[in-house]
Amino acid sequence: MGVKIAIAADHAGFDFKTAIKQFLTEKGFELIDFGAHSSDSVDYPDVTHPLANEVLSGNSTLGILICGSGNGVCMTANKHQGIRAALCWNKDLGELARLHNDANVLCLPARFIDLATAKAICEVFLNTAFEGGRHANRVHKINC
């Protein structure tokens, strides 16, 4: 596959991030890890901003962010013009975020879903293309 994916998590998402990295590497994705690198407390903006910049630069195609609720990383990532971060807790939301909203960053709530669900969401998110069509005009209106 050779697709580069940026990934980051705070301390609450560290274990999920570690397992998801292995899972996606086995699927052929290349991962760039922006931390955290342990379960020691870290402020989620400190890992989110570098990941958002990586996706905006085009060096990574998509990003995955993980924190306890998914909300902190999602709100932080969406402060960046051009980032469309989506908080997803099931496969359908992961698919629709790409299909209809052209989301470029997936946010996962580690404290509210299990690891199998997180992996399934990642897989569908990374393998779904933006549908375009009637959705393209809407997506172009997102940035302020």
100 among known catalytic residues: yes
pLDDT of residue 19: 98
The order of strands in the sheet holding 105-109 is: 30-33, 4-9, 62-67, 105-109, 85-87
> What is the pLDDT, as a whole number, of residue 144?
86
pLDDT at 3: 85
Give pLDDT, residue 123: 97
Residue 103 is predicted with a pLDDT of 98
From the list 67, 74, 88, 122, the catalytic residue is 67
The CATH code of domain 4-140 reads 3.40.1400.10
Q: Which of 49, 80, 100, 135 is catalytic?
A: 100
Residue spans per domain, the chain: 4-140
Q: Is residue 122 among the annotated active site residues? A: no
Name the stretches of the chain with pLDDT < 70.
1-2
pLDDT given for residue 13 in this prediction: 98
Q: Are 128 and 98 in contact (CB under 8 A)?
A: yes
Amino acid at 54: E
Q: Dmax of the chain from CA atoms?
A: 44
pLDDT at 127: 97
In eight-state DSSP terms, residue 84 is -
Q: No. of H helices and E strands in the chain?
A: 6, 5
Handedness of CA 76, 80, 81, 82 (dihedral sign): negative
- What is the reported pLDDT for 2? 64
pLDDT of 58-100, one tens digit each? 999 999 999 999 999 999 999 999 999 999 999 999 999 999 9
